[in-house]
Structure 1
Amino acid sequence: MACTDTATVKRIVRFQHASDYRHFLQQLPAIEPSSSPRKKIRQMPIIRAVSCRLPADETLERFGGRIWIEKDCKISVHHGSQVHKSAMVDRGIPWGVNQIKAPQAWSTTTGLRVKVGVIDTGVDFSHPDLRQSLSRGINLLNRSMLPHDDNGHGTHIAGTIAAANQPQGMIGVAPRALISPVKAFDHNGSAFVSDIILGIEWCIRNRMDVINMSFGMKTKSKALLGAVINAYNAGVIIVASSGNDGKRRSVDYPARYPQTISVGATNKLRRIAPFSNRGIYIDVYAPGDKIVSSWIRGKYNEMSGTSMATSHVSGAIALLLAHRPGLTPAEIKTIIKRSVQPLRGRRARRTVGELDVMRMMQVVDKT
């Protein structure tokens, strides 16, 4: 979603120096519009920034120091097409989990205790396929509540990563991984960039191994990039979806940042799905077309989108990290890119392919 809301006065204010940041926090009450209702000032120490409402013409020059101001944009989950299904279509192992060869790795690794932060719409805590796989997480929209899913997208992502309910329900890529739902998105699948940054900060502080980011926007945000770099430097792997615009030379942010693993979507024929963004910014493709996974109120739903592809990659990384702990984000990206299956289709580039868990294991065992 592009940042086009010119009327908004919600801003992210970043400071080069910690001393300027502290000084600003002390002075902030004085510059807030007195006519407005009680304001939410959200501190983001990870990037020495705050999110707050400012008068449209406020430049903050009187504070001195190096200050950057950007709009606190809205960002959307990568909702593709969806078909609601109240009953399970193909119980057991969904086609995408099979296609990436995850089941063949389960005798070696099931992702045991690898922590995956899913920054999304929350999760259905009562879903029978997810109960074994969830930790408490956090609700950034209401800190006093669990991150319950009022949309469905986050529950779908969580199921593909780590559902574990054989033989009655479905099984995800890494059934013994532990998902921490980070609710940054509301019931419409919409969030502010500042909520995403707070989610990344929470994931770093709570020592997540992987962060799944099945969302994106068209405009770049220096503040979001700063948070992504912090996570990367802390050894946290960020997996991000490329977007569903069918573009050949462009992917959404944050997937476009080099510190993330950028994921495009394939279909059952190992071809790039028509809706998937593609091109040089994609690191790996994974199943994202007609993916059945868990849904709110204990149900199941078939969805298509690069969001669904991203959750396959996050699960695969959980399998890899349980097998070989301590791999860095850069090492994991290299392993994934070296172990892909070739894509089908005349136009498919030979330098990038589809996720293959067994090849990943072979590559890491040789190193």
Structure 2
Amino acid sequence: MDMNAFLRWLRDTVASARQSAHKQIIRFQRPGDYRRFLQDWSEVKQNDSNSASPLSLVKPIPIIRGISCPLPFIDTPGRFSEDIVIEHDRRIAVHSSPQKSSLFDKGIPWGVQQIKAPLIWGTTTGHRVKVGVIDTGVDFSHPDLRHSLSRGINLLNRSMLPHDDNGHGTHIAGTIAAANQLTGMIGVAPRSLIYPVKAFDHNGSAFVSDIILGIDWCVRNRVNVINMSFGMKTRSKALLNAVTNAHNAGVIIVASSGNDAKRRSIDYPARYASTISVGATNKLRRIAPFSNRGAYIDVYAPGDKIISAWLRGKYHEMSGTSMATSHVSGAIALLLAYKPGLSPTEIKTILKRSLVPLRGVKTRRNIGELDVTRMIQAAERL
């Protein structure tokens, strides 16, 4: 690949398309080309004294051998068509219903009780297991999360902590790892560590490229589990590439299936085989009416009317497969602290072997709800 020609094309195209540009993801087909691009790109940037240079808008995404940058809607330019793949950088949204404020009576939320997490806290509490939460950030001042948080990263503003300006990420973090036994709530794995990765804005919206950068950051920082409580309807090869590479690196990815009440389809990235896809149940152990369902779901967990941490030290009730996913991420943290070194494939096998049958489901085979006690027993038999 003629890297000088590609860099000239990239600079000219970005410069000429500033008004009509849309974010795009460019992936290099060959590892050597990507390494050469990074080297040449950084040299050109260093030599260019103009901070508004078009090439300053390029963001490297190492986990997929790619970059993101603003470009017009174009097909791969002919002279580079065998060397690169261009994909539109789509928007992706968090999976949850509108929330409402809640006066939380301290203790253990019903979902944490229903999956029987408290019954094994004498055996495992998720101690030091790293859970990456790619979401809207987290409320660092919440009393129930004070001892459960790592610094994380803010992909929207690298100079700031990943502070939550939406609430969704704080809610997810609370269900996974809240630890305030005396005056607040307790999550599924109260001794696990949340690594907040802010990729979503205050509206709960993110670009696929920022999700992939979040996955890349988690892999580099040796995170054990990634919670992905979001999804989209369309397939992204770049996102699939990132998820597959993280899975191959030994990172467990837990993803919400979506809230469209579909029976034969779920959202991406949950639909990718290298994730653990999660549907939502209610207090009656039935599939929640809003939850997607069907053969693509690996495990169901409580997701209806879930109370958890919120901004400014408060608590809110939310419903969605997002909430179900955080229960599963917490359960996997318990499992990894009990039996370190399990691979993503082994963990999915353990979860599927330990499901409790759901109510109101005619075909019971391979369909069921998370049960932490059965999960630990299945791990012992593996």
**Hey, what's the Cα distance between the residues in 2 that align with 1:71 and 1:36?**
22
Residue 51 (str. 1) matches residue 64 (str. 2): no
Q: Deviations over 1:309-328 (max 9, x none)?
A: 00000000000000000000
Equivalent of 2:186 in 128, 147, 171:
171
Task: Give how far 1:22 is off.
Answer: 4.0
SS at match of 1:131: coil
Give the superposition deviation at 1:40.
2.2
Match of 2:226 among 207, 211, 214: 211
Q: 1:62 Cα deviation (Å)? A: 3.0
Alignment check: 8 A CA contact 1:20 1:65 kept: no
Amino acid aligned to 1:67: I
Return the offset for 1:74: 0.4
Q: Quick check: 1:120–1:153 contact (8 Å CA) kept in 2?
A: yes
Q: Does the 8 A contact of 1:39 with 1:52 survive in 2?
A: no
Q: State the shift of 1:58 in Å.
A: 5.8
Structure 1 residue corresponding to 2:162, chosen from 147, 169, 193: 147
Counterpart of 1:321? 336
CA offsets, 1:262-301, max 9 Å, x none?
0000000000000000000000000000000000111000
State the AA in 2 paired with 1:187: H
Q: Read off the aligned partner of 2:202 and give its amino acid letter.
A: H
Is 1:331 the counterpart of 2:350? The answer is no
- After TM superposition, the score normalised by the length of structure 1 is 0.93
Provide the C-alpha distance between the structure 2 equivalents of 1:183 and 1:325, rounded to a whole number of angstroms. Answer: 27
Residues 62 and 336 of structure 1, relative CA distance in 2, 3 Å threshold: same
Partner amino acid, structure 2, of 1:308: M
Distance 2:340 2:215 in 1: 21
The amino acid that maps onto 1:283 is D
TM-score (norm 2): 0.89
Q: 1:200 — aligned with what?
A: 215
Larger Rg: 2
Deviates more, 1:49-58 or 1:10-19: 49-58
Letter in 1 for 2:288: A
Amino acid at match of 2:27: R
Identity of aligned residues (%): 74
Provide the alpha-carbon RMSD of the alignment: 2.0
Superposed displacement of residue 19, structure 1: 2.8
SS in 2 for 1:133: coil
Contact 1:244-1:277 at 8 Å conserved across structures: yes
* Distance in 1 between residues matched to 2:369 and 2:153, nearest whole Å: 32
Inter-partner Cα distance in structure 2 for 1:266 and 1:165: 26
The match for 1:262 among 277, 281, 287 is 277
Matches within 5 A, 1:8-23: 9-23=22-36
Counterparts of residues 1-367 of structure 1 (less than 5 Å)? 9-25=22-38, 26=40, 40-57=57-74, 59-63=76-80, 65-85=82-102, 87-88=103-104, 90-347=105-362, 349-367=364-382
Matched residue of 2:68: which SS?
Answer: strand
Q: Is the 8 A contact 2:76 2:85 kept in 1?
A: no
1:69-118: CA deviations, max 9, x gaps? 11000000112232122x31x32000000000000010000000000000
Q: Deviations over 1:22-77 (max 9, x none)?
A: 454536989xxxx9978521101111100011233363333464211110000001
**1:3 alignment partner in structure 2:** none
Matched-pair contact (CA < 8 Å) for 1:17–1:65: no
2:335, 2:28 → 1: CA distance? 38
- 8 Å CA contact 1:163–1:175 kept in 2: the answer is yes
- What SS does the aligned partner of 2:369 have? coil
Question: Contact 2:60 / 2:68 at 8 angstroms: preserved in 1?
Answer: yes
- Say which SS state the counterpart of residue 277 (structure 2) adopts: strand
TM superposition shift of 1:153 = 0.1
Aligned residues: 356
- Contact map agreement 1:81 1:305 (CA 8 A) in 2: no
Conservation of the 8 A alpha-carbon contact between 2:136 and 2:169: yes
Determine the C-alpha separation between the residues in 2 that align with 1:99 and 1:346: 18
Cα distance in 1 for residues equivalent to 2:224 and 2:120: 19
Contact 2:75-2:86 within 8 A present in 1 as well: no
Which position in structure 2 is the counterpart of 1:4? none
Stretches of structure 1 that go unaligned for 5 or more consecutive residues are 1-6
